Each structure stands twice: as structure tokens, then as C-alpha cells.
């Protein structure tokens, strides 16, 4: 049997194939933290955001979850920063996060309550993080360990006659609190990102934060579903200045 000596071109081709086969696994092994950073980078871009939300609050010792809905406004750092969460159904309440301070008021209060965010480091810190994640910001990366989820975003429950959305698929991440102070009140956070419609986005769609779930140490959970994202319409004047902006109106009977 006669052996055929490989030509120069054959040796080069075989070498390239071998090198590619060696490098391919390394390129495919993206860490969970790197995947999280990549997804946040694809969310980043707009200077501000308006979105509706449905919130489901489940208390550890109650079988029936509490549903509410409202509007989220967020401004990026280049537009001065700020976040406002306005619950508009079935009651009215308002939270403003700006410059390390929290201002809150309900429909039964005539004055705003001003507190330092350190007074409630758990849930308050997560609400501030919510604003950062919705704009593609990392926020306090030292607070959590990061693990990729199964990609399933739960169905949005019906609230205030809103249509129930079916489950969706996207990029999900499970964040476990590793910061000692935060871990006393927050166990885990589940984030769900997916491409969806957004007013003002190129082609009408972009990567968006669509789901946030906060599990607390007492056993409660708070879930947010975000929809009707708008990155084009300017935010309302003085939206982060509660002394000038309009008080949230009670829901219509």
C-alpha cells in the first residue's frame, strides 16, 4: 500500500481546521456575568424611558396576591438621573428616587415623606436598581452573584382590565444577594429581558427589561411586568421634583 504525502496546501488547511476546533469551545463558554453585561449593553442607549407596569405583591402569610398597576419614569445619568414609580390602580401612591433620597406620598397624604435610602436598604435598593437595569446600567454589581436562568418570562396577570400576556422567552438572570446588609432583607432577584416593541426605537423594537421579581427574606415576593415602553416621548416636566409635579390622583370609582 502506497502512502500519499500530504501537499503543502493540505497541511495548511488541516492546521487551520485543528486550530479552529481548539478555539471554538473557548469562544462558546461565555460566563453568566459576561452574558448579563452583554444583555445590559443591548438595553443601553436611550436617555429616558416611560413604561407601564403591573405589580403583584405576594405576602408570606396570605394566599391571594395583591395586584396594582402604574407608570415608571426613568432618566439616564446624562439627562440628570432620577426614577419615579407611580401606582395608579387600585389606589394612588408615588415614589421618587433622586440623588440618594427617597420621596413618597399616597393619595391620602398632603405632604411628601423624605427619607434617606439607607433607612430601607433592601426593597428600596432594589427599586433603585430597577431603574438602572431598565436603562441598561449595571448599578451595584457588588451586591449579587449572577446565574443565567431558563429564559422563561412568566405570564403577566390581569390588572385594571389589562389583557393577560402569555409567557415569553428571553434572557433571564437569577441574582443572589451576597452583600451582607442587603442579604438581611433580600434573597434573590430574577430579571427577564426580551426584544419587544418600544416607541422611538430603531425598527420599533429593542431589548427591554420586561420582568423583575424580588424575593425577600420574610418570604414575600414583589413581581413587576413592564409594557408599553416609550423611549421617544420627553418625560413630564418636573417629573422628579415632587414639590412642583402634580400629586397622583385617586383612581376613578
Q: At what angle do helices 32-43 and 123-134 cross, to 10 degrees?
A: 60
The segment with the largest mean pLDDT, out of 4-13, 55-64, 119-128, is 55-64
Question: What superfamily does domain 32-230 belong to in CATH?
Answer: Lipoprotein localisation LolA/LolB/LppX (2.50.20.10)
pLDDT at 14 over 80: no
The conformation of residue 232, written as its DSSP 8-state character, comes to S
* Confidence band, pLDDT 50/70/90 cuts, at residue 62: confident
* Percent of the chain scoring above 70 in pLDDT: 83
- Grid cell of 54 as nine digits: 403591573
- Grid cell of 161 as nine digits: 382590565
pLDDT (tens digit per residue) in 72-113: 999 998 899 999 999 999 999 999 999 888 898 888 887 888
pLDDT (tens digit per residue) in 42-54: 999 999 999 999 9
Distance CA 54, CA 212 (A): 11
Supply the pLDDT for residue 121: 58
DSSP letters, 82-150, are -EEEEEEESS-EEEEEETTEEEEEETT-SS-EEEEGGGSTTHHHHHHHHHHHHTT----GGGEEEEE--
Length of the chain equals 253
Average pLDDT score over residue span 143-171: 90
Report which of residues 243 and 148 the model is more confident about. 148
| Backbone CA torsion sign across 235, 236, 241, 242 | negative
The conformation of residue 247, written as its DSSP 8-state character, comes to P
Amino acid at each position: 500500500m502506497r502512502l500519499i504525502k500530504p501537499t503543502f496546501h493540505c497541511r495548511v488547511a488541516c492546521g487551520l481546521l485543528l486550530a479552529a476546533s481548539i478555539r471554538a469551545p473557548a469562544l462558546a463558554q461565555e460566563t453568566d456575568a459576561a452574558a448579563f453585561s452583554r444583555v445590559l449593553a443591548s438595553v443601553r442607549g436611550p436617555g429616558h424611558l416611560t413604561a407601564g407596569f403591573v405589580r403583584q405583591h405576594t405576602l408570606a402569610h396570605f394566599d391571594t396576591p395583591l395586584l396594582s398597576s402604574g407608570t415608571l419614569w426613568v432618566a439616564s445619568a446624562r439627562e440628570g438621573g432620577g426614577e419615579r414609580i407611580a401606582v395608579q390602580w387600585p389606589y394612588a401612591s408615588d415614589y421618587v428616587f433622586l440623588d440618594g433620597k427617597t420621596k413618597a406620598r399616597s393619595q391620602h397624604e398632603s405632604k411628601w415623606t423624605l427619607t434617606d435610602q439607607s433607612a430601607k436598604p433592601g426593597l428600596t435598593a432594589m427599586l433603585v436598581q430597577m431603574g438602572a437595569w431598565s436603562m441598561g446600567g449595571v448599578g451595584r454589581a457588588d451586591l449579587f452573584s449572577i446565574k443565567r436562568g431558563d429564559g422563561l418570562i412568566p405570564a403577566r396577570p390581569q390588572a385594571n382590565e389589562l389583557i393577560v400576556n402569555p409567557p415569553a422567552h428571553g434572557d433571564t438572570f437569577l441574582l443572589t444577594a451576597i452583600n451582607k446588609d442587603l442579604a438581611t432583607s433580600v434573597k434573590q432577584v430574577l430579571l427577564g429581558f426580551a426584544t419587544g416593541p418600544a416607541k422611538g426605537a430603531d425598527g420599533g423594537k429593542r431589548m427591554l427589561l420586561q420582568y423583575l421579581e424580588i424575593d425577600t427574606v420574610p418570604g414575600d415576593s414583589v413581581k413587576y411586568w413592564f409594557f408599553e415602553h416609550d423611549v421617544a416621548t420627553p418625560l413630564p416636566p418636573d417629573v422628579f421634583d415632587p414639590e412642583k409635579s402634580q400629586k397622583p390622583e385617586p383612581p376613578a370609582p
